[in-house]
Amino acid sequence: MFPFGLVAGLSSATPNSTTPFSFSPPTIISSGVITVPLSSYSFTPYPTPTLTPSQLGFPAADPLNPPNVSSDRQVVLDFAPAWTTAYQKARNLISNYTIEEKVNITTGVGFGVGLCSANIAPNKNFPGLCLQDSPLAVRGADFTTVFPAGIQVASTWNRALMRARGLALGQEFKGKGVNIALAPMMNMGRVAQGGRNWEGFGADPFLVGESAYETVLGLQHGGVQSCAKHFINNEQEQFRAVESSNVDDRTQHEIYAHPFLRSVMAGLSSVMCSFNLINDTYACNNDKMLNDILKREYGFQGFVMSDSFATTTTLSAVAGLDMTIPGNLYDSNASYFGGNLTDYVNEGYISMARLDDMATRIIAAWYFLHQDEEYPATNFNSYDQNDEVNNKHVNVQADHYRIVREIGAAGTVLLKNTNGALPLNKPKNMVLIGSDAGPGKSGPNEFLFGGGVDGILAEGWGSGTGTFSYVISPLEGIQERARQDGSSVSWDFDDWNTDLAGTMAIGQAVALVFTVSDSGEGIMTVDGNPGDRNNLTAWNNGDDLVLAVAAQNNNTIVVVNSVGPLIVEPWIEHPNITAVVWAGIQGQEAGSAIADVLYGAYNPSGRLPYTIAKDPADYPAQLVTNGSGSEVMTINYTEGLFIDYRHFDQANITPRFEFGFGLSYTTFSYSNLGVAAIQSSNTDQEDLIIAWEGGEASPIAEGSSVALWLHEPAFQVTFMVTNTGSVSGTEIPQLYIHHPSSACGPPSVLKGFTNVEIGPYDTKPVSIILSRYDLSIWDAVAQGWRKPDGQISFSVGASSRDFRLWGVIPA
């Protein structure tokens, strides 16, 4: 039996003996018997602070009917009325429930029982819930689409594509009868080698936050409930259940919690608390994180579920945990909830009001998504695709391959392009070198849960994967073009025979070398990598292969399919390497998307969602691997606010490629900067605004961090972007705030971006909105958001180090 909700669902999936892997269960260290309630919270659901809905810029929203995506943030959505209705229905439904029935709503039926990753049993007229991975596909289900990974859609910096991916995924989950998609994943990429970084959206909270916001809106628009995970500080895989991430309050607010705040603002239904401890308390038992930040500060009205087997005590219910999954303990059928929760309520350790709140939240989320209105029943078995009774083989793919292909291309980052190497222009002959250019030997589902590398790398490994219906390899994508162009194509997929690779490259107009780097969830070890990557070096002899080819061909183009940053120093400056295409983790249309970029059918507009360093030691945080596994290991987030580019800027370290960087087949120039304050339309919040302008922190209140006055548009930055080249292209203007030194923060922080498509030699106006929240820092003493003392300036430009225009926020 496989741990953590992962199941042997793919009957065709057999582990490849050349890439050994092993499953390793997490050890949870019990925090001992606690017999007193942990908190005095009254557990009434918190209202989000709402003024009059329908006010301009603050529309009442229903998750099934969100406003259209905007390339900039214009509105703050008000989900309060929809939650209120859902709460009323949920309270009615449970009004005649017994204690046991309420408890059953909060307790998964147990690992391996039911059709989905986790399941809540039906009760009276409530049909129960199917909870299913993953962030890029309906895991364990046939006739589904494997979308590009989170990191790929983040690399597009394009809100419309983020939303479109979320919507298509949401429709597939609904079509399969999944109630709750265990997605998106929004950890921060604090450590470059972190195993699950590819599931998430990069290494900057603002980019992660916007990606999360659009993905949640999209998923829920599709009808499925979205679950934001993993809350919080699960930044490495090794020892994930026996490490305490020690994080200061300001860093927590400004970096790690921000994407969850944005998810709540998108009308999020549920949150999954993580395995690890935070400041010495398990995440799923953490009153500060669950009750105070998530439910009080963010006004979160949905529910909190545990990661799979991450509950450590019944009293976590008091700390804010609403549901435990899969329900049983790792090694027995007992549960921390179930009968234990019933006893605790009967004995008065946990109040009835709290139990009511737990069940109400879970059922309210179901009503909130209108899942009581003809929602499809679960029609697949994620444990066994050959279960002919339960698997109805419903085909939910529609034409989603188009979105996959577009995001695959739009998230591809062009890092180097010299001598006009790209786009390819009918080359007379070409060679494709490296196993990543071709298909896997035994098809796209060769490895269980993606746990191996053979052929095009289109996903990482672990619970964040899907079942491929097909995968297009670069060979297929490129040959389709070669047929039209009359080019001859040869290939060599042997990564280890560098002599042969070099020989094959001789006399070719273009030599394309494909390299990879993979990682995944810590439940599997692949090629000696225990989820986290052991290093930042290309896999499968990649660097030597590149060098062997470059030694023989002066038009060598490197294509990289990597889960995250790699050190490219061994070859990046080689004069024969004319172009580098950072193709990322693209899903089932990987080869078509790569061909689209290589041939210029898609003019590259992807930008790096993380920094590529020259040396692994340049990164501010490293994996901590010296745990014993039997006692809690400490990971001190000593770098604080200075993750990724914030550290490189602060410590004056030159990266190889900076955060936000990416080339196009055209060039852009910037001009005419303007910045103006926007008059607030909410006169009843005037006092708060005046106090903020005077440097006071936002007051402590329920929903204080999502207050309208804090998030409504406050400043508008405008400028012009000109396409100075002869082909159409998309520029991604980025806005970075520079706080005054009194803020003791990073030199530059991303607070705005947009995407603008511009024809040859044309100019377009661009606008980026800033809120008061965007300009604030977290005051840990006052426990509020505060404008720092002194002048706030900003830059607009093409990356975190390529500023073109400078301005000052009006006082």
User: What amino acid positions are annotated as catalytic residues?
Assistant: 307
- In the complex with ligand BGC, the residue whose CB is nearer, 326 or 713, is 326
Site for ligand BGC in 213-252 (CB under 6 A): 229
The nearest distance, CB 382 to ligand BGC, in angstroms, is 9
The nearest distance, CB 751 to ligand BGC, in angstroms, is 29
The nearest distance, CB 520 to ligand BGC, in angstroms, is 11
Stretch that binds ligand BGC, among 3-11, 554-562, 583-591, 605-613 (CB under 6 A): 3-11
The nearest distance, CB 329 to ligand BGC, in angstroms, is 15
Task: Examine residue 519 and tell whether it contacts ligand BGC (CB under 6 A).
Answer: no
The nearest distance, CB 324 to ligand BGC, in angstroms, is 12
The nearest distance, CB 240 to ligand BGC, in angstroms, is 8
Under a CB-based contact definition with an 8 Å cutoff, are residues 204 and 211 in contact?
no
- Reported as type and span, the H/E element at residue 778 is strand 777-779
In the complex, which residue's CB is closest to ligand BGC? 5
Task: Examine residue 649 and tell whether it contacts ligand BGC (CB under 6 A).
Answer: no
- In the complex with ligand BGC, the residue whose CB is nearer, 117 or 705, is 117
Task: Examine residue 5 and tell whether it contacts ligand BGC (CB under 6 A).
Answer: yes
The nearest distance, CB 669 to ligand BGC, in angstroms, is 44
End-to-end CA distance of the chain: 61
Helix axes 99-106, 338-346, angle to 10 degrees: 140
Write the CB contacts of 687 (distance below 8 Å, at least 6 apart in sequence). Answer: none
Task: Examine residue 308 and tell whether it contacts ligand BGC (CB under 6 A).
Answer: yes
Task: Examine residue 698 and tell whether it contacts ligand BGC (CB under 6 A).
Answer: no
The nearest distance, CB 383 to ligand BGC, in angstroms, is 12
Write the CB contacts of 348 (distance below 8 Å, at least 6 apart in sequence). Answer: none
The nearest distance, CB 311 to ligand BGC, in angstroms, is 13
Give strand pairing partners of 719: 766
- In the complex with ligand BGC, the residue whose CB is nearer, 312 or 498, is 312
Task: Examine residue 145 and tell whether it contacts ligand BGC (CB under 6 A).
Answer: no
Spatial separation of the C-alpha atoms in residues 150 and 164, rounded to whole Å: 13
- In the complex with ligand BGC, the residue whose CB is nearer, 6 or 580, is 6
Give strand pairing partners of 131: 118, 180
Write the CB contacts of 152 (distance below 8 Å, at least 6 apart in sequence). Answer: 407, 408, 411, 584, 585, 586, 587
Q: Mask: binding to ligand BGC, 420-459, rule CB under 6 A, as x and -?
A: ----------------------------------------
Spatial separation of the C-alpha atoms in residues 751 and 733, rounded to whole Å: 11
Helix (H, G, I), strand (E, B) or coil at 677: strand
Structure tokens at 320: 């804010």
- DSSP for 318-359, please give it: HHT--BBSSSSBTTBS--SSHHHHHHHHHTTSS-HHHHHHHH
| Ramachandran quadrant class, 93 (left: phi over 0; alpha: psi -120 to 50; beta: rest) | alpha
**Chain-centroid distance, C-alpha 681:** 33
Helix (H, G, I), strand (E, B) or coil at 278: strand
Task: Examine residue 463 and tell whether it contacts ligand BGC (CB under 6 A).
Answer: yes
- In the complex with ligand BGC, the residue whose CB is nearer, 182 or 612, is 182
Helix (H, G, I), strand (E, B) or coil at 268: coil
Task: Examine residue 117 and tell whether it contacts ligand BGC (CB under 6 A).
Answer: yes
Helix (H, G, I), strand (E, B) or coil at 539: coil
Task: Examine residue 198 and tell whether it contacts ligand BGC (CB under 6 A).
Answer: no
- In the complex with ligand BGC, the residue whose CB is nearer, 307 or 357, is 307
Structure tokens at 809: 């926020």
Looking at 471-570, which runs of residues are DSSP E strands?
Answer: 488-492, 510-517, 556-562
Rg of the chain, C-alpha, whole Å: 25
The nearest distance, CB 243 to ligand BGC, in angstroms, is 14
Stretch that binds ligand BGC, among 2-10, 278-286, 709-717, 724-732 (CB under 6 A): 2-10
The nearest distance, CB 72 to ligand BGC, in angstroms, is 31
Among 148, 8, 705, 127, smallest CA distance to 366 is for 127
- In the complex with ligand BGC, the residue whose CB is nearer, 417 or 465, is 465
Task: Examine residue 709 and tell whether it contacts ligand BGC (CB under 6 A).
Answer: no
The nearest distance, CB 294 to ligand BGC, in angstroms, is 18
Phi, psi of 737 (to 5 degrees): -90, 140
Structure tokens at 311: 């509950």
Phi, psi of 691 (to 5 degrees): -60, -40
Task: Examine residue 307 and tell whether it contacts ligand BGC (CB under 6 A).
Answer: yes
Stretch that binds ligand BGC, among 4-12, 242-250, 448-456, 769-777 (CB under 6 A): 4-12
Using CB under 6 A, count the residues that bind ligand BGC: 10
Spatial separation of the C-alpha atoms in residues 778 and 252, rounded to whole Å: 9
Cα–Cα separations (whole angstroms), residue 654 to 525, 685, 714, 800: 33, 44, 34, 12
- In the complex with ligand BGC, the residue whose CB is nearer, 6 or 577, is 6
Q: Mask: binding to ligand BGC, 119-138, rule CB under 6 A, as x and -?
A: --------------x-----
Spatial separation of the C-alpha atoms in residues 242 and 786, rounded to whole Å: 35
Task: Examine residue 525 and tell whether it contacts ligand BGC (CB under 6 A).
Answer: no
Among 299, 303, 305, 302, smallest CA distance to 323 is for 305
- In the complex with ligand BGC, the residue whose CB is nearer, 135 or 452, is 135
Task: Examine residue 182 and tell whether it contacts ligand BGC (CB under 6 A).
Answer: yes
Spatial separation of the C-alpha atoms in residues 81 and 59, rounded to whole Å: 10
- In the complex with ligand BGC, the residue whose CB is nearer, 112 or 443, is 112
The nearest distance, CB 6 to ligand BGC, in angstroms, is 6
Write the CB contacts of 17 (distance below 8 Å, at least 6 apart in sequence). Answer: none
Give strand pairing partners of 716: 676, 769
- In the complex with ligand BGC, the residue whose CB is nearer, 5 or 660, is 5
Q: Mask: binding to ligand BGC, 65-104, rule CB under 6 A, as x and -?
A: ----------------------------------------
Phi, psi of 750 (to 5 degrees): -65, 130
Give strand pairing partners of 802: 799
Stretch that binds ligand BGC, among 1-9, 146-154, 205-213, 563-571 (CB under 6 A): 1-9
Spatial separation of the C-alpha atoms in residues 459 and 148, rounded to whole Å: 8
CA angle, corner 35, sides to 120 and 280, nearest 5?
Answer: 80
Structure tokens at 678: 């926007």
Cα–Cα separations (whole angstroms), residue 134 to 10, 302, 450, 460, 465: 15, 20, 13, 12, 6
Phi, psi of 354 (to 5 degrees): -70, -45
Q: Of these, 2, 4, 143, 383, which contacts ligand BGC (CB under 6 A)?
A: 4
Spatial separation of the C-alpha atoms in residues 191 and 638, rounded to whole Å: 13
The residues that touch ligand BGC, with contacts defined as CB under 6 A, are: 4-6, 117, 133, 182, 229, 307-308, 463
